[in-house]
Amino acid sequence: MPWWSWVVIWVVLVLGLLGMLAFFAWWLFRKVMAAGREASALIDKADLLRQRSDDMRYAEFHSAVFADAEELRAQREQAVADRQVARQARRDRRVQRGKILVNADPFRYSYLNKRT
């Protein structure tokens, strides 16, 4: 092999290395710019959440110790009654769904039983 072939080989290798480094630099630059855009959007969302959390105020705590016993009893009875109504409504829906399943027409899907 003549001496200049080694020069050509090394020039090609160095140009390939420079091309590869340029490609990875461009790739890294795009990733950093995308991360910057996402960080900016995240900061905007965090600021919006902070503003909304400042708007939400918790209701002032009222201890039940100082409340009227009759009023608390009435609230408790109302809560129990509401739960019973909701429970009965769930039962009624479940029974209705069961009746639909039990009373389904078996011949409605008879084409599934036919052999071809």
Q: What is the reported pTM?
A: 0.42
Looking from the CA of 93 toward its CB, the CA atoms found within 13 Å total 6
SS3 assignment, position 63: coil
Give pLDDT tens digits for 39-89. Answer: 999 999 999 988 888 777 777 777 888 888 999 999 999 999 999 999 999
Query: Alpha helices of the chain — where are they, by DSSP H?
Result: 3-55, 69-102
Across 11-15, 27-31, 67-71, 107-111, least confident range: 107-111
Q: Are 34 and 26 in contact (CB under 8 A)?
A: no
Return the amino acid letter for 61.
Answer: F
> Amino acid letter at 106?
P
Distance CA 63, CA 98 (A): 45
